[in-house]
Amino acid sequence: MLSPLYCSAYGARHRRPIPRTAPVIRYASLLFSLFLLAGCASLPQLEPPAIALERVELLQLGFAQQRFGLELRVQNPNNVPLPVTGFRYGLSLAGTQLGNGQSTERLRIPAGGESRVKLELNLDTIRLLGQLSEWARQPPSEVSYLLDGEIDVDLWPRPLQFSRDGRVPIEIAPGAFQF
């Protein structure tokens, strides 16, 4: 049996029946939403990968630009593989912010395993002139660093943050100084 609903459109009262299934559909929708929320809450939390800066290479040093090659070791502490879809990173060497970079290189880091990644960092000459001229006069064999950023993982809602500091050997490629 349908229950009456009175509506006063255009000044007249009309009866419109409400189907009995409406409350059932409403409760089923609510129950389905609760199950979805519970499913999302039970997703495993991914640990951020351990990042180590293995090597810095000065690829080009000129008035217009400097290019550094970075080699990273990325260790996956999780029990599932990480399908990496991109990196965003910033690097400071010897206390000087060198710059930021980004890569869309895709790689798959096995569960509990590691992978090596090569990235490039392009810099603005004017901002770093003091540090670079010091390195041109007396190239260091190693420097302190701070590397931080985030890694995008395929099918994961948020990027994984990382931050690492330490010391790293620095190499200067032959012919790198182009003044």
Whether the per-residue pLDDT at 110 is higher than 90: the answer is yes
Shared domain check, 57 and 19: no
Average pLDDT over residues 9-27: 64
Q: Whole-prediction pTM value?
A: 0.63
Q: How many domains does the chain have?
A: 2
Instruction: Look up the CATH number of the domain holding residue 141.
Output: 2.60.40.1820
Weakest-pLDDT range from 32-41, 77-86, 114-123, 156-165: 32-41
Q: Output Rg (C-alpha) for the chain, integer angstroms.
A: 29
Q: How confident is the model at residue 76 (pLDDT cuts 50, 70, 90)?
A: very high
Whether the per-residue pLDDT at 19 is higher than 70: the answer is no
> At 41, phi and psi to the nearest 5?
-70, -25
Average pLDDT over residues 104-130: 84
Most confident of 15-29, 93-107, 108-122: 108-122
Range of the domain at 27: 6-41
Whether the per-residue pLDDT at 12 is higher than 60: the answer is no
Counts of helices then strands in the chain (DSSP H, E): 2, 11
Q: What is the pLDDT, as a whole number, of residue 70?
A: 87
In angstroms, rounded to a whole number, what is the distance separating the alpha carbons of residues 146 and 96?
A: 9
Average pLDDT over residues 88-115: 87
Alpha-helical regions (H) of the chain:
21-41, 129-137
Average pLDDT over residues 135-157: 85
Whether the per-residue pLDDT at 26 is higher than 80: the answer is no
Q: What is the pLDDT, as a whole number, of residue 83?
A: 92
Shared domain check, 111 and 73: yes
Whether the per-residue pLDDT at 68 is higher than 80: the answer is yes
Shared domain check, 104 and 163: yes
For residues 94 and 84, the model is more confident at: 84
Residue 85 lies in a domain: yes
Shared domain check, 133 and 106: yes
